[in-house]
Amino acid sequence: MLASTTPPRALLCSAAPRSLRRLSGFPCRRKDPALASPSPSSAPSRLRIRPMNWLGRIGLGLGGRAGPAGVDGAAASAIAQGPDDDIPAPGQQFAQFGAGCFWGVELAFQRVPGVTRTEVGYTQGKTHNPTYEDVCSGMTNHAEVVRVQYDPTEGSYEKLLDVFWERHDPTTVDRQGNDVGTQYRSGIYFYTPEQETAARESMERHQQKLNRKIVTEILPAKKFYAAEEYHQQYLAKGGRFGFKQSAAKGCNDPIRCYG
């Protein structure tokens, strides 16, 4: 008998208990943005998308986060499509994972022994210096990801892959539960040939447990753009309701996507 394609409900941000969803009044970051942009002190629940902002990222100078002076559209796109040029701390390695809403994914990786730093952000898109609004517009092709820095002497890349598969449903295209859009796609973005090999072998093993095809993309890591500060360690800092969730190593508490 093949295993279910869906991870345990307690792990999925979008599978929050019905009572919690009623309490919140809306699903985790629903795809219908209409209200004003969030303040840094509050949860970015629903956004007013400014479609013109992302045009600034392709050299039309119409808004968004400022890019380097003198960078035209083609050059900006080349930067976005280039490799991640950040450098991990000495003795550490980077890994990148996209598994839906990055709030809960980050907390899951924060809890892994050997992980020394996590950061949420955007990658694999075609525009330079995207904002959250740009990414939510669906026009930039960025994925929401967590970049994990880990000490390979304390924790393995294979363990990170296990957390990745457990954290989300890798058989849904551009969707995790109520979160719909290309930014929520499933992806493993590797930094080394060894990571690529491990990722593909891990996917083959995981596929044998499922009765639906895995749609996870496995691609070289590209330029990583850190998300706005209010997204970083969002659930550990209290989330929408101010209830901090533990990021302690080895913690197995269910992850509440709303905080």
Catalytic residues: 101
Partnered with residue 94 across adjacent β-strands are 149
Both tokens of residue 113? 């022994």
Q: Do residues 109 and 115 touch, judged by C-beta distance below 8 A? A: yes
Residue 150 forms beta bridges with which residues? 93, 115
* Contact in structure between 218 and 98 (CB atoms under 8 Å): no
- String of b and e for 108-135 (b: at least 16 CB within 10 Å)? bbbbbebbeebbbbbbbbbbbbbbbbbb
Residues shown for the chain = 259
**Cα separations (Å) of 211 from 45, 154, 188?**
34, 34, 21
Distance CA 14, CA 233 (A): 18
